[in-house]
Structure 1
């Protein structure tokens, strides 16, 4: 489920589609803005790695946020229009890590100090859109070392074009890095997807009041060393939220994207195109959203409980106007799904056994919305419509409010993501913003008392 894009993100996306100005130099350093702030409600000590209104936002929670050495977080920012930044978690120093712009998702290696993304070729404008995209690799270790020494070289020393997609492929949007870090997967256009569908396939039309979800769509891969392209799979609906299993090579998770409730939200497939199936087969009354791979064998997702029971009995007088980004998904056109008449909460499905459990749920309000979990299987985390953040002990099912007050008027939602070691959570927050919209990069610690917990059952 997505709220309507804000003007802030529309502007940021437009900037990413254009080639960055010549003055934007890879390796450029920015002074620390690091601040530690006590949450006024929970007392949690929050570390803001950025604290000025510069248009910061984290990478989406389906993807890795930290570099493989654990020292830097890569994020999107308006500090240099169209370019990605990295911030050192301990010192707060910031470094520009791309030059020439990027589009779509940023992919940080978990094994290597590399960054991968798509880039529109030089000369791309709104009036002259790209038909092909470059897939680019950045050597982050070299960027950080030369930037610190003050001896930056030409951009080509740090950035390598791994390949350029054929125009007919219609590539773009979501991209995900394989666990082996030798292949990326990405969306392809309708024409390319249609080539690989059976002749009698029923193509889905738009679903829901946001007029999204129509197919066909597909996924392709590119080998980062050889530049070889392969078609992975085609489906009769719109694809979104493409992600990989960071621990299992060749395992992909994606969704049927409608901007809200889908007929069948979550899907998984293998890199050779086999094994295509719904990840969590959902009922009509369930509103499934914001799936994220959290462990080698598990995917977390939200079963939303944000709408009133018997919602459509009041539909005759209900407004079907555009959704309020602070409380989305209320349009009558979505049907009767997403109520608490049935079980809702933070769901976790096992990729191998296909069993699903609910780790926890807020007693009232929207319920948990964007979710994540620690790789060791101990903890889960989710935000809600109020932008509050809840930690869940998966062993005991105890829930703890970590932080709140991150402003419902923010340009986007917190989108929590666990650190690789499971000790802290990254969010994006407007808590410090004078305009109540501009966001900053923020780290929320898992309480030390929770980290020290031991259990008789060692399964978690």
Structure 2
């Protein structure tokens, strides 16, 4: 029997290609990896919704984590490289929710079962897209999946000349998104006479100008919101208040003035929390209709000025001398919450030692605040009693990222990402922690 070598090779490639296309299909289901683990120190149940080493990572705390029905969490993963996944909190079922890739921030709607995301085009533009999660989950469960366009919608394309960044936020009315624009576009809208700021700190970031624009999800039109003389980062909307935006001056660390707020029509630009030179403010997150949580860091020794170089420290970041006279406990530090209406700020709590609370969040009902520290330990604060307790630890300082705790809308539980189960001490998994009843 004679074999045609070229035909055999072609057939093999075709099979491999077909298999990869099949594996990358939107709606593809993966078996549950759900595990409940007792915290080694506190004894609190840690519900790991993923437990295999697939490089999982949660959405950033500035954005929603759960779908509007409260049942699924959206996350990034290498199960299918470049695609987003959803995991059902009760069953542990995992479903692929994008096909064709995405870039930047995954943005979950609060009112509808929609996931919004961006995708780069060949000519440098940015497509704004959404997935109809309700239809997708239903068809995935029944095994009657259709092609990607039946679930994914292209709302329009942001032109390449705008230089759009992929830091996207969905307005509370779910009619428009906000996104970062490039320096050239920001400069075209910067008021005459405004002095552009240079880089700040050892990471050589923060130089302006920067800006924010909005994209209409129905018409595809783009409109500029604001330009500022510094680098813009962490754009987030207030999910309870249409037209309200919170963002930051991004330097990769301490900023001269970190937190800012503005309305969608460009009015009302102001510092959210006016900070002093000695304050290191970071990781702001809108947590309720009227409140924003943020960390005022206390991670530097009071004698930090004796450090004579800018060598980074992975275990204790932010020690470089060129960050300036900030971040010590000579002044008040801790998990702070600012009221957007009254502008009042309260410090809810702080660790007794160590880095202090770093990435912070709070429950929408105003009952709880939560934060992690450099050791990857998680603390919760009862805002009524000011009682603070460590709820979980052991999440490995070698992890690929930080826990980034973020509350569910019911205020009873929050999500983290953790390397606790990883053999390589780096790969992370999705985990949910419920506050014990007796902690109330």
Asked if TM exceeds 0.5, the reply is: yes
Which position in structure 1 is the counterpart of 2:384?
395
Q: Deviation digits for residues 327-353 of structure 1, max 9, x if unmatched?
A: 210111111200000000001011011
Asked whether the equivalents of residues 349 and 386 of structure 2 are also in contact (C-alpha less than 8 Å), the reply is yes
* Deviation, structure 1 residue 424: 0.5
Which position in structure 1 is the counterpart of 2:13?
none
* Deviation, structure 1 residue 326: 2.6
* Deviation, structure 1 residue 226: 1.4
Structure 1 residue 378 corresponds to structure 2 residue 371: no
Which position in structure 2 is the counterpart of 1:115?
115
Which position in structure 2 is the counterpart of 1:320?
310
User: In 2, distance between residues paired with 1:277 and 1:105?
Assistant: 25
Which position in structure 2 is the counterpart of 1:430?
419
Q: Which runs of 4 or more aligned residues in structure 1 lie more than 6 Å from their structure 2 counterparts after TM superposition?
A: none
User: In 2, distance between residues paired with 1:396 and 1:245?
Assistant: 27
| Residue 140 (structure 2) aligned to one of 125, 143, 147 | 147
Structure 1 residue 260 corresponds to structure 2 residue 250: no
Structure 1 residue 186 corresponds to structure 2 residue 179: yes
Which position in structure 1 is the counterpart of 2:14?
none
Task: Report the RMSD for the aligned CA atoms in angstroms.
Answer: 0.9
Q: Count residues in correspondence.
A: 420
Secondary structure of the residue that 1:184 maps to in structure 2?
A: strand
Structure 1 residue 421 corresponds to structure 2 residue 410: yes
* Deviation, structure 1 residue 324: 2.6
* Deviation, structure 1 residue 200: 1.1
Secondary structure of the residue that 1:358 maps to in structure 2?
A: strand
Secondary structure of the residue that 1:117 maps to in structure 2?
A: strand
Which position in structure 2 is the counterpart of 1:14?
none
Secondary structure of the residue that 1:142 maps to in structure 2?
A: helix
1:10-29 pair list within 5 angstroms: 22-23=21-22, 24-29=24-29
Asked whether the equivalents of residues 310 and 336 of structure 1 are also in contact (C-alpha less than 8 Å), the reply is no
Asked whether the equivalents of residues 118 and 172 of structure 1 are also in contact (C-alpha less than 8 Å), the reply is no
Q: Deviation digits for residues 215-264 of structure 1, max 9, x if unmatched?
A: 11110001111112110000010011100101000000000000000000
User: In 1, distance between residues paired with 2:356 and 2:114?
Assistant: 36
Which position in structure 2 is the counterpart of 1:106?
106
Q: Give TM-score scaled by structure 1 length.
A: 0.90
Which position in structure 2 is the counterpart of 1:362?
351
Unaligned regions of 5+ residues in structure 2, if any? 1-19
Structure 1 residue 242 corresponds to structure 2 residue 235: yes
Asked whether the equivalents of residues 127 and 156 of structure 2 are also in contact (C-alpha less than 8 Å), the reply is yes
Secondary structure of the residue that 1:369 maps to in structure 2?
A: coil
Which position in structure 2 is the counterpart of 1:10?
none
Asked whether the equivalents of residues 204 and 216 of structure 1 are also in contact (C-alpha less than 8 Å), the reply is yes
Secondary structure of the residue that 1:174 maps to in structure 2?
A: coil
Q: Give TM-score scaled by structure 2 length.
A: 0.94
User: In 2, distance between residues paired with 1:186 and 1:327?
Assistant: 32
